[in-house]
Structures are given as structure tokens and as C-alpha cells.
């Protein structure tokens, strides 16, 4: 397969990964082992044949054109589909070797370990303090001092402490969009999860706020496994260790567009020398 000429445009994500070597990504333990997974909304199969492994303390990015099932796949990882009427997940989804959808597994416990940050900042209409302490509280922490400490460390980890430490008791809805999103990250890590799923966490933010959150992700990587959905290929190239490229294919039998996983590899490899032509076209902007 021919390697395309690197483009001089600074926006070309390929440039961002050039300094990394393709073999540099470490083989940390596997957190998610996904095999032939599919997700249905009623009779509609939104995504199919997804097989990939997500590694511990790394950032894995899901990229691909709109409607290819990135959000759908991400939500399958912490059983968020349980609350969608008619949604069904099939295939192998193991978390540290345990079937996420096994009969003994509690969705509540799954979500406590696998947190999620949503596309649109969605703080509760409560105070900043109550937003961050909500998770620890529902998980049984009542001790005031411990809660105070968790709120502070979480807000510090989310790079928000200095901006809000004097107004912890004021409504979270008074924060800016970027601050709200960092609050949502703080709220998620206050539960001390093992994995943080992020669905386009920066899509509502300006470039400065985006840069802060990317910086944050790089720091959080030392403690958490992160999976991020993004439309911004530069972002995927900048922050992720591994990248999964999804696309939607028209099924000629029933005229439905179903998402598939095209290619999954180290980010440096994906952006410099992808194996599949569709990936190549997508990351160079010739498609989607």
C-alpha cells in the first residue's frame, strides 16, 4: 500500500504524530476485551463486528464520520444502553476478563468503576460541592472530612480548584461551558473509577478550554484508562495512544447504514501509515 505524501498543512494530524515511533505504544494489561460486538436499537443494528482490546492507563480514541456508532459503542462499555428502551448489546465484552453483561453483574457497580463524561456538559442544578460529592455520597461515603478531601482532590485533578475554591457552595450552572465540563470530569473522577469514557468532551468548548482538557487527559492517564470519542482528528493524534477508526456501511439487504470498525492500531501508526484505504482517506480529509 502506497504511503501518501505528508501534507504541509499544519492541521494535518499526521504531523502531530511524526515525532512518535510507531512501535512506541506500550503493551499494558488489557482492560476491555471486545469480540464481535454489535449494538441494536430495536431491529436497527447500529454497529457490528467490533473486535478490539483497550489497554490499561492508555488513551484510546474512537474516530469516524458522524453516525458510524462511536457513541453507541462507547455507551456499551459501561452499560449506559440499559436505560435506552429497546437497545441491545451482543457479542463478547469482557472487562478484566469478566463478562460485562453477565447475569451476576450489576450495572450500577459497572458504572461506578467505569465513569462517563458526556458531550454536553451536564452538571446537576446543584452547588459545585454537591456536584462533585454526589458520586462519593451515593457510593456510601458520609464522612464530612473525607468528602471535603475528595472534592478538593478531584477539583484539583480536573484543574478547576483554583477557579472555584471560593464558590463551592454556588450553583454549578453559573460556571462557563469549559468550567462545567471540567466540573463533570471532576465529578466523574471523584468516584475513583478505573476507566473514564469521554464522548466528545470538547465539542462544546473553545480551543483554550479544549487545550486544558487535553492536558488534563494526559495527566489523568497515569491513574485511569481513558476512552475518548472525538471528531477532531488533531485531538486524537495529540492525546491518544491507540485509535479505532469506525465508518458506516450501507447494507444492501435492508438499506440500513451500520457502523463497523475499520482499523485499530497505535495512533502513531494510524496517522502515519494506516493499513486501510478508508482510514487513509478519512484522516487526510478526503472523506467524511
Partner 1 sequence: MQLFELRGRSHHADKAFGWITIAAAGLVLVILGLVAASMTQRALPVLEKMGPDLFTSSKWSAAEDHYGLLAFLFGTLYTAAIALVLAVPVSLGVALFITQVAPRWLKKPMVYLIDLCAVVPSVVWGLWGVLVLSQHFGLGRSFLTAGIILAIMITPIITSLAREVIETTPLTDKEAALALGATRWEMICATVLPHSKGGLVGAVMLGLGRAMGETIAAALVIGSALGQITANPFAPGNSMPAVIANEWGEADDLHKSALIALAVTLFALTIVVNLLATWIVQRGRRHA
Ligand X SMILES: Nc1ncnc2c1ncn2[C@@H]1O[C@H](COP(=O)(O)OP(=O)(O)OP(=O)(O)O)[C@@H](O)[C@H]1O
- Contacting residues toward partner 1, per CB under 8 A: 78, 80, 83, 85-86, 108-109, 111-113, 115-116, 118, 120, 122-126, 134-135, 138-139, 184, 187-188, 191
Among 69, 121, 201, 274, binds ligand X (CB under 6 A): 69
Closer to partner 1 by CB, 134 or 161: give it. Answer: 134
Binding of ligand X at residue 272 (CB under 6 A)? no
Part in contact with ligand X (CB under 6 A); list of ranges 17-25, 60-68, 126-134, 236-244:
60-68
Among 10, 19, 66, 103, binds ligand X (CB under 6 A): 66
Burial readout 23-43 (b: 16 or more C-beta within 10 A, e: otherwise): eebeeeeebbbbeebbbbeee
Q: What element of type H or E holds 38?
A: strand 30-41
Decide: 205 and 125 in contact? Cβ < 8 Å: no
Rounded CA separation 94/48 (Å): 16
Binding of ligand X at residue 133 (CB under 6 A)? no
Rounded CA separation 109/97 (Å): 16
- Interaction partner, residue 41 (partner 1, Mg ion, ligand X, none; CB < 5-8 Å by kind): ligand X
Binding of ligand X at residue 83 (CB under 6 A)? no
286: Cβ contacts below 8 Å, ≥ 6 apart: 280
206: Cβ contacts below 8 Å, ≥ 6 apart: 178
Among 14, 48, 55, 70, binds ligand X (CB under 6 A): 70
Closer to ligand X by CB, 59 or 168: give it. Answer: 59
Binding of ligand X at residue 46 (CB under 6 A)? yes
86: Cβ contacts below 8 Å, ≥ 6 apart: 40, 41, 42
Burial readout 246-258 (b: 16 or more C-beta within 10 A, e: otherwise): bbbeeeeeeeeeb
Closer to ligand X by CB, 16 or 260: give it. Answer: 260
Residue whose C-beta lies closest to Mg ion? 71
Closer to ligand X by CB, 36 or 215: give it. Answer: 36
Rounded CA separation 215/159 (Å): 9
Binding of ligand X at residue 67 (CB under 6 A)? yes
Contacting positions for ligand X (CB under 6 A): 41, 44, 46, 66-72, 84, 231, 259
Amino acid at each position: 500500500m502506497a504511503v501518501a505524501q505528508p501534507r504541509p498543512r499544519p492541521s494535518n494530524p499526521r504531523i502531530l504524530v511524526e515525532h512518535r515511533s510507531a512501535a512506541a505504544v506500550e503493551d499494558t494489561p488489557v482492560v476491555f476485551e471486545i469480540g464481535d460486538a454489535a449494538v441494536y436499537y430495536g431491529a436497527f443494528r447500529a454497529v457490528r463486528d467490533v473486535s478490539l482490546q483497550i489497554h490499561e492507563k492508555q488513551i484510546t480514541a474512537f474516530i469516524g464520520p458522524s453516525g458510524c456508532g462511536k457513541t453507541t459503542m462507547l455507551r456499551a462499555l459501561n452499560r449506559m444502553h440499559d436505560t435506552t428502551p429497546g437497545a441491545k448489546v451482543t457479542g463478547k465484552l469482557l472487562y478484566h476478563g469478566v463478562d460485562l453483561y453477565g447475569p451476576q453483574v450489576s450495572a450500577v457497580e459497572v458504572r461506578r468503576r467505569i465513569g462517563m463524561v458526556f458531550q454536553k456538559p451536564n452538571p446537576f442544578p446543584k452547588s459545585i460541592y454537591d456536584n462533585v460529592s454526589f458520586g462519593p455520597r451515593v457510593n456510601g461515603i458520609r464522612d464530612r472530612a473525607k468528602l471535603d478531601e475528595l472534592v478538593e482532590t478531584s477539583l484539583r485533578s480536573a484543574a478547576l480548584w483554583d477557579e472555584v475554591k471560593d464558590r463551592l457552595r454556588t450553583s454549578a450552572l453559573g460556571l462557563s461551558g469549559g468550567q462545567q465540563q471540567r466540573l463533570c470530569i471532576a465529578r466523574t473522577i471523584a468516584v475513583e473509577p478505573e476507566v473514564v469514557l469521554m464522548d466528545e468532551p470538547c465539542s462544546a468548548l473553545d480551543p483554550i478550554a479544549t487545550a486544558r482538557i487535553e492536558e488534563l487527559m494526559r495527566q489523568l492517564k497515569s491513574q485511569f484508562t481513558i476512552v475518548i470519542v472525538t471528531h477532531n482528528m488533531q485531538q486524537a493524534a495529540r492525546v491518544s495512544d491507540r485509535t479505532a477508526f469506525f465508518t458506516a456501511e450501507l447494507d444492501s439487504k435492508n438499506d440500513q447504514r451500520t457502523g463497523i470498525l475499520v482499523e485499530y492500531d497505535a495512533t502513531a501508526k494510524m496517522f502515519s501509515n494506516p493499513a486501510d484505504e478508508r482510514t487513509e482517506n478519512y484522516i487526510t480529509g478526503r472523506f467524511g
